[in-house]
Amino acid sequence: MMKSSTILRLAVLLPLLSCHNKEFEYDASGMFEATETIISAEATGRIERLDIHEGDHLATGSVVGYIDTTQLYLKKCQLEATVKAIENKKPDPEVQLSALKKQIQKAEFERSRIVSLLKDSAATQKQLDDINSQIAVLNDTFSAQSNTLSKSVSSMNEEALAYRMQIKQMEDALKKSRIINPVTGTVLSKYTTENEMAVSGKALYKIADTQHLFLRAYVVSTQLQNLKIGQGATIFVHVSKGDYRSYPAKITWISDKAEFTPKTIQTKDERQNLVYAVKLGVENTDGLIKIGMYGDVGFK
């Protein structure tokens, strides 16, 4: 009976001793954080669709909604019509100068004929002078009209370009009316809903990368001197009574300023009330780690 009682006591004490010792294997403790991003509207208008819910996992580039684009589309159509009207009114120098070119060619042919006749004394010098004067006037007229048409075309091209730039602005605004999720993560908060008005810059929802987490732990000054950026560590997460999961981690940031120990954090040396914050990056491979959970860390 005595032997049985002793075995029973050991069976009760061993798990307690195991859990108790496990607590002293940790060098620091802290809370898990994630990189949070607030997604804001890039356009103004009524929200036609916002297909997200808190807790949803969203992939980068997924379209989660859109903002009403009716006025933007109509404005774009109006600008395109204006550009078309300008193009239709734009003169064609080749066409408009063709008649004058023919007159010059005809006059030059006539001058050649007069020169030939003049050699045979069948034409007068006055006839040659007259045709030369006529050709000079025609050339001056051609140059003036060509210059005027060139300036007109250039001016209308610049006007059309200005409208085309406005069309590009409309196209960019139409593109930004689509609500596209920029980062992979989990939706933490939803700030608005369908049929509400959005303005550029208004927060729509908050998303966090829950695959790549950070543990913000706290160490005392005696531990700090043994730590460096990039140093490996093991993070332990208490998932159930007596059950801890371990995850490899690396130190990504060490604070250079001491602060008072947060009330919810235990340190290696409870007598010290000043600690240094340390961030450790960890991959949430199994999805068990949640933002706000506590974790313990053993430095390598």
Share of the chain above pLDDT 70, in %: 89
pLDDT value at residue 52 = 96
pLDDT value at residue 21 = 41
Over the chain, what HEC string results?
A: CHHHHHHHHHHHHHHHHHHHHHHCCCCEEEEEEEEEEEEECCCCEEEEEECCCCCCEECCCCEEEEECCHHHHHHHHHHHHHHHHHHHHCCCHHHHCHHHHHHHHHHHHHHHHHHHHHHCCCCCHHHHHHHHHHHHHHHHHHHHHHHHHHHHHHHHHHHHHHHHHHHHHHHHHHHHCEEECCCCEEEEEECCCCCCEECCCCEEEEEEEEEEEEEEEEECHHHHCCCCCCCEEEEEEEEECCEEEEEEEEEEEECCCCEECCCCCCCCCCCCCEEEEEEEEEECCCCCCCCCCEEEEEEC
Share of the chain above pLDDT 90, in %: 73
pLDDT value at residue 266 = 63
Q: In what order do the strands lie in the sheet with 178-180?
A: 178-180, 63-67, 45-50, 197-198
The span from the first CA to the last CA of the chain, in angstroms, equals 47
pLDDT value at residue 34 = 96
- Burial of 178: CB neighbours in 10 Å, binned 0-12, 13-18, 19+: middle
pTM greater than 0.85 = no
pLDDT tens digit at each of 300 positions of the chain: 333 333 333 333 333 333 334 444 788 999 999 999 999 999 999 999 999 999 999 999 999 999 999 999 999 999 999 999 999 999 999 899 999 999 999 999 999 999 999 888 888 899 999 999 999 999 999 999 999 999 999 999 999 999 999 999 999 999 999 999 999 999 999 999 999 999 999 999 999 999 999 999 999 888 988 999 999 999 999 887 778 899 999 999 999 888 887 776 666 666 677 889 999 999 999 989 999 999 999 998
Contact predicate 156/90, CB 8 Å: yes
Closest CA to 179 of 71, 70, 68, 77: 68
Q: Does the domain spanning 27-67+188-299 belong to CATH 2.40.30.170?
A: yes
Strands 178-180 and 294-299, sheet pairing:
unpaired
- Residues 243-272 have pLDDT tens digits of 889 999 999 999 988 888 777 666 666 667
pLDDT value at residue 9 = 36
Distances (CA, A) of 248 to 225, 272, 279, 288: 21, 28, 13, 14
